[in-house]
Structure 1
Amino acid sequence: MEPLVLKGLRVIDFSWVMAGPMATKMLGALGAEIIKIESTTRPEFASRGGWFSVINNNKKSCTINIRTEEGQNAIRQLVAQSDVVVENFSSRVLKKYGLTFDDLKIINPRLIYVSASGVGRTGPQADYLAYGTLLQSYSGRVNLVGTPNRYLEAMGISPAWTDPITAFWEVFAILGALQHRRRTGTGSYIDLSMLESTVALLPETLLRTALGGPMMPAGGDAEIGSAPSGCYRCRGDDSWIAISVRSDDEWHALCGRMGRVDLVGEAANSDAARRWRNRASLNSAVAQWTLTQDTRKIERELQSVGVPASRSRSINDLLVDQHLKQRAVFTSLPGGQRTIALPWADRDMWRGNLTPSPELGGDNDYVFGELLGYDREERERLVEEGVIQ
């Protein structure tokens, strides 16, 4: 693919926490120039640790006091020569400073403005205060997964899946708006809801429930419609393997490897629908077998006979995994920082543009000097007056 397909695109990034920064990181990986608007007085911007560094690659950092009139004017000048604005403030913040889409489209009619919020900018709950973890509950996802749940607790529930899911929808919407602008010459306003981003991934569950179908019990690890299916303990210390059987061929191969061809001939297991109804008994039989097996060995053997199976790997396992190593999943940035590459590659194994996360205010001279044309004396005055923080 053509590297840096978004080169020449400038994005003004007001976003913080995770969803917005992840989205702009992906845009930057495709060549867009990302200018992150920050403040030295906000504690969330002061931390530049590991969490910040992996979601804020490919960006420049500019510190502007948005509460000052000159700071607001500087932002307007930036927006006038930019393509996209991304923000996830509460609905009152940018309205108070005259930096809404309706304000800014006057100075830049081609502007694409993404306003991300918990539940959307309209509706009776428009001012609902929530982060991703809370919205997982609102969306019904936690009800499906189950809580308390030791598997979720082991992962966080932060990483809140709502945030990265929203980031992907955000990039998708921006790319669509860019195509619209290319055809019409006009910008767009995008009202992005984190709640709806999560609900959008539950269509099968919503449809089944709306049609009066049964609710699945919370907390299971089985794949709906697959039986046997689950994550089963193997021989050894905390060794597990995931197995999921859908087709008759997979079922016959699994029974052969288990030495339980007797199960194939039982009427209760004669097709996928019957196996699903009989899943408790089948899962029990598989679990008894895997307890005596080495997880690496049966992963290889089941895969070789066409049964979907994968051992549960630890993070340490991933770091030395030869498949991931060959595909250059883990990469080094300038300065030696190790990070995760983007999860796609072209035929030359190009995985996007990745640069280290920026120092707080590290690009102030570029933004105020080169882009806005302020001379050094003017920049020094703005620093003294707290406009440049």
Structure 2
Amino acid sequence: MTLPLHGVRVLDLTDGLGESCGRYLADLGAEVVRIEQPGGSYSRSAEPVVDGVSIPFALRNANKLAITADLTTEAGRERLRELAGTADILIESQPPGRLTGLGVGPAEIRSGAPGLVWVSISGFGQDGPYRHWQATEPVLYAMSGVLSRSGAPGAEPLLPPAGLIEETVGVHAAWAALLAYHRRLDTGAGDTVDLSAFEAIVHGFDPGFGTQGSAAAGRSEDFPRGRPDAANFYPVFPCRDGQVRICMLAKRQWRGMFEWLGSPAEFADPKYDTIPARFAAADTLHPLIEKLFAERTQAELVAEGARRGVPVGGVHTLTEVLETEHFAASGALMDTEIGAGLRARVPSGYVSFDGRRAGFRTPAPELGEYDDAAPPRGGSVYPAPTRTGGATDERESSGTGAGVPESMTAGSESTRSGGVRAGSRTPAPAGTGHAPVRTGEAGLGVGSADSGVDRRDPVPTSAADSAPLAGLRVLDLGVIVFGAELSRQFADYGADVIKIENANFPDGLRQSRRGSALAASVAWGHRNKRSLGLDLRSADGIAVFRRLAADADVVLANFKPGTLASMGLSYDVLAELNPRLVVSESSAFGSTGPWRARLGYGPLVRASCGVSALWRYPDDAELLCDGQTVYPDHIAAQVTAVAVLATLIGRRRTGRGTHIEVAQADTALVHLGAQLVTEALRPGTVTAPGNGDPYAAPSGVYACAGDDEWCVVTVHDDHQWAALCGVLDRPDLRSDTRFASAAHRIANRPELDRIVAAWLHDRDPQEAAAELQAAGVPAGAMLRLPQLLIDPQLTARGSYTQIEHDHLPMSMPAAARAAVFTGITDPPARQAPLAGEHTREICAELLEMGEAEIDALVDSGVLQPLVTTPADAVG
């Protein structure tokens, strides 16, 4: 098989922010051509730099090609126009308006290439009062509400590790690009996409107003001053060779822990079956667990926890992660050349297709490496690199001997096997709001690399105003945060998503309600879907599912590895029923390697991957501060959505489906790539930086006027330093030899931090940030979640919509869209289904069951229609 985006050409004009978008598209098989000014991108020197190689640049630009074009000259602009005529997608992160000012903005370029999908990635969006503000990772952490929930009570808020922001933005940009491209294949029309990094983090990193969000439906009493006391949410305990974390959510997990402790009488009361009771008793309970764990090793505790059904995971340092057998055996980490003879252990990539890794293949290109290659209009790819590097043999490419064969490269050829399924499907029932399903399906579509269609003259093939995913049917077996967020991406943009759930084993989200008849997370995470109550633990239930799968497009699941196979629903079995079916399975640590059977929740995943060890204050290795977040659940779901959509695009060419696998741990590893690679190359040099950027000064989180008010400021270069001196009205600092260069400023960090802190101490954080940004200094006030709802930028861009539900006492704010498109309307906000709400109509209309057959299956418990009594209506 070929990678799913084989034949798709992407022009990449990003510099720093957004570079990981092109990397992910390249991993998925797209031919990504990086276009740089003759002097090279600023990001080629981004820290950390080891032996002359920028580690972030090397990781975020692997698998790409590179040419130069001076867009300040007519020759360079014509070069861009010529390339755009051969491309499918263009991604750029230039300051808003810069390319338009040069005469090569989206309107000018797309006038000659109307089928082109143009994606602008900017800090705050192309319009709004902050459109020209600078968005560093600390600024985005502060302004998105993430910072306000991070850190210890009574202490300054704590910035999370670097890298998580940029990779999150890149994945969201990839999703937006492929949504528009998928629509292009149906309509022939390109699009102009405005992706705001600010909005991507607000809604997609750990959303306060989203699935399992900290906002708790926006209740004001949930937002006290100071950080929440989150240390006991997912407690960490010392053990003989380090630390472990436990994550007890279910009653059965607590019962396993209770017995492990020797069934202490003081905790025999059934009230301790609940999380709040155990949390309230932490001062008494946790010392018992600490004593139990103290003389055992991580491995012993994890194994015993698994035997007893208690989720336990090790808290690993970066060095331990790099040496972990599981990540090598699974192929999550690989040894390769990343540039100029420099070899390192690196995260290989996010996703596997049919058991084969799709990730790092070739090192980041040298500046102008492909300048002499002509871009043929027929869409054929540039020639393969002549220099050596990257994964040089099968064992090296996977880290395990599994290998990435030649057929998995972006430029490999494939034999087409059909590609069009004839016939029409039954449309979704009237009144549900789901768009009618198209008859048949477009074949290869317009403008893909081997279509033979001139990209400058797209031929519309369906209504331009259709939702981009209308006509797709998704069977959703997903659970909790990851499952809800993954399928919601498809439901929001027109797919008929059928959530399949068993009332006897309800989804954890349906059990998390707080005083309402319905959990807020259900309303957020399952909007625009339908619900089918079905017992998949019965043979008849499996038979019903198989009938649905025979005419579906996608099956989504995030069970423990092997669960689908144990149910008789493995990919091989389902592919026999429906060769076009795309099956996506996700788990904490993947289906291969020693940890494949481990219980996995987000807190255990991030502890196992090194995130937790870096998310702490520098002077306190025991106080981990990641307890409040849901990372990486939301972003891992978005990673998977991109892989699924790319596969659906590739299916138009091959006519066949694919088995996709994403491990949440691999998402965290990719995000921490720069730290992992630096630690691999320079052992012992990467530690928790706290709020000080090790490569910039002044930098930090500074107290402002008021109770628990803070502002983030980071100065990276001499221009920003000069601007800061102007705002401070301290021209003397510019001539002070102690601060003459970035290196000097870093060496004298304490004095600079004192000066900035003194200036901010009596100022309003939002006013101070605005003044600094107006001068060109990256800064951002720490916003709490309620402030996001009235933030001028988010308000101006209509970033929030309101969702309502008959079983909730109030409407709730929610993300309005993935990005701003010119050709794709914002998603509807149909209320989430109650459990089993659409059981009868789905069986009647999709499976053509008669009333007698449905009633018989209901009587046997196989089908579970909506129960209308108040006690049972929530499922």
TM-score w.r.t. structure 1 length?
0.93
Answering whether residue 790 of structure 2 is matched by residue 315 of structure 1, we say: no
Q: 1:338 aligned to 2:812?
A: yes
C-alpha displacement of 1:265: 2.0
1:361 alignment partner in structure 2:
836
Q: Which residue of 2 aligns with 1:75?
A: 545
Say whether residues 1:25 and 2:499 are aligned partners. no
- Name the counterpart of 2:825: 350
For 2:623 and 2:799, locate their aligned partners in 1 and report how far apart those are by CA, in whole Å. Answer: 30
Contact 2:679 2:686 in 1 (8 A): no
Greater displacement, 204-213 / 77-86: 204-213
Q: Structure 2: how far apart are the matches of 1:315 and 1:365? A: 40
- Cα deviation, residue 268, structure 1: 3.0
- CA–CA distance in structure 1, aligned partners of residues 757 and 489 of structure 2: 41
Q: Whole-Å Cα distance in 2 between the matches of residues 375 and 349 of structure 1?
A: 38
3-state SS in 1 of match to 2:576: coil
Alignment of 1:34 onto 2:476: no
* Equivalent position of 2:575 in the other structure: 105
Equivalent AA in structure 2 for residue 376 of structure 1? E
**C-alpha separation between the residues in 2 aligned to 1:135 and 1:253?**
41
Does the aligned pair in 2 maintain the 1:330–1:338 contact within 8 Å? Answer: no
Q: Distance in 1 between matches of 2:605 and 2:727?
A: 43
SS in 1 for 2:577: coil
Whether contact under 8 Å (1:223, 1:230) holds in the other structure is yes
Question: CA–CA distance in 2 between the matches of 1:122 and 1:50?
Answer: 35
What one-letter code is carried by the residue in structure 2 that aligns with 1:375? G
Residue number among 380, 384, 387 corresponding to 2:859 in the alignment: 384
Q: Which whole-Å CA distance do the structure 2 matches of 1:128 and 1:34 have between them?
A: 29
| Other structure's SS at 1:187 match | coil
Q: Deviations over 1:175-195 (max 9, x none)?
A: 111122111111101111000
User: SS of 1:61's equivalent?
Assistant: strand
The alpha-carbon distance between structure 1 residues 26 and 149, as it changes in their structure 2 partners (threshold 3 A), is farther
**Larger deviation: 275-284 or 348-357?**
348-357
Distance 1:33 1:208 in 2: 44
Q: Greater relative contact order: 1 or 2 (C-alpha under 8 angstroms, separation 6 or more)?
A: 1
Aligned to 1:5: 468
Deviates more, 1:343-352 or 1:96-105: 343-352
Whole-Å Cα distance in 2 between the matches of residues 55 and 247 of structure 1?
42
Structure 1 unaligned residues grouped into runs of 5+ = none
* Residue 118 in structure 1 maps to residue 588 in structure 2: yes
The counterpart of 1:252, out of the listed 722, 727, 731, is: 722
Deviation sequence 1:255-300 (CA, Å, 0-9, x none):
2222333332233322223323332332232122211323233222
CA RMSD in angstroms, aligned pairs only: 2.1
- Most deviating of 251-260 and 19-28: 251-260
**Structure 1: distance between partners of 2:828 and 2:804:** 12
The 8 Å contact of residues 329 and 342 in structure 1, kept in 2 or not, is answered as: yes
Output the CA distance in 2 between the equivalents of 1:118 and 1:247.
40
Shift of residue 312, structure 1, vs aligned partner: 1.1
Q: 1:179 aligns with which of 649, 654, 659?
A: 649
* Map of 1:266 onto structure 2: 736
Q: Contact 1:40/1:63 (CA < 8 Å) preserved in 2?
A: yes
1:50 maps onto 2:513 in alignment: no
Show the 5 A alignment for 1:123-138.
123-138=593-608
The structure-2 alpha-carbon separation of the partners of 1:273 and 1:303, relative to structure 1 and needing over 3 Å to count, comes to same
* Residue 371 (structure 1) aligns with: 846
Q: Do structure 1's residue 221 and structure 2's residue 691 form an aligned pair?
A: yes
List per-residue Cα deviations over 1:10-56 (Å, max 9, x = no partner).
11110001112201101111211101110111143644411222111
Structure 2 distance, partners of 1:34, 1:224, is 46
Structure 1 equivalent of residue 757 of structure 2: 287
Give the Cα separation in 1 of the matches to 2:677 and 2:785: 35
Q: Secondary structure at the match of 2:662?
A: strand
Output the amino acid matched with 2:811.
Answer: Q
Q: Flag the 1:56–1:38 CA change in 2: closer, same or farther, 3 A.
A: same
Deviation of the 1:152 alpha carbon: 3.9
Work out the CA distance in 2 between the residues paired with 1:204 and 1:314: 29
Cα deviation per residue 1:281-331 (whole Å; 9 max; x = unaligned)? 322321222113232332222122111111111222112223222211221
Residue 281 of structure 1: SS of its match in structure 2?
helix
Deviation at 1:60, TM superposition (A): 0.6
Greater helix fraction, Structure 1 or Structure 2? 1
Alignment CA distance shift 1:300-1:92 (3 Å): closer
TM-score (norm 2): 0.42
> What residue number does 1:94 align with?
564
Distance 1:16 1:136, change over 3 A: same
SS at match of 1:115: strand
CA contact (8 A) 2:702 2:712 kept: yes
Q: Please, which moves more after superposition, 201-210 or 288-297?
A: 288-297
Q: Is the 8 A contact 1:149 1:219 kept in 2?
A: no
TM-superposed deviation, 1:224: 4.6
Task: For 2:812, give the aligned amino acid.
Answer: R
Distance 2:753 2:679 in 1: 25
- Match of 1:360, SS? coil
Q: CA deviation at 1:148?
A: 6.0
The alignment status of 1:324 with 2:794, answered yes or no, reads yes
Unaligned runs of 5+ in 2: 1-190, 192-463, 512-517, 865-875
Distance (Å, rounded) in 1 between the aligned partners of 2:764 and 2:625: 22
Please list the CA deviations of residues 117-166 of structure 1 after superposition, one character each: whole Å capped at 9, or x if unmatched.
1111111211111111110101111111127658645xx13xx2110121
Q: Deviations over 1:54-108 (max 9, x none)?
A: 1111211001110111100000000001001110111243222201111111101
SS where residue 357 of structure 1 aligns?
A: coil
Separation in 2 of the partners of 1:174 and 1:62?
Answer: 22
| Contact 1:31–1:353 (Cα < 8 Å) also in 2 | no
* Counterparts in 2 of 1:33 and 1:301: CA distance versus 1, 3 Å: same
Tell me, in whole angstroms, the C-alpha distance in 2 between the residues paired with 1:241 and 1:54.
30
Contact 1:120 1:191 in 2 (8 A): yes
Give the CA deviation at 1:366: 1.9
| Preserved contact between residue 233 and residue 290 of structure 1 (Cα < 8 Å) | yes
* Structure 1 residue 213, shift from structure 2 partner: 6.2
Q: How far off its partner does 1:349 sit? A: 8.7
Query: Contact 2:501 / 2:835 at 8 angstroms: preserved in 1?
Result: yes
The 3 A distance-change label for structure 1 pair 223 and 342 is farther
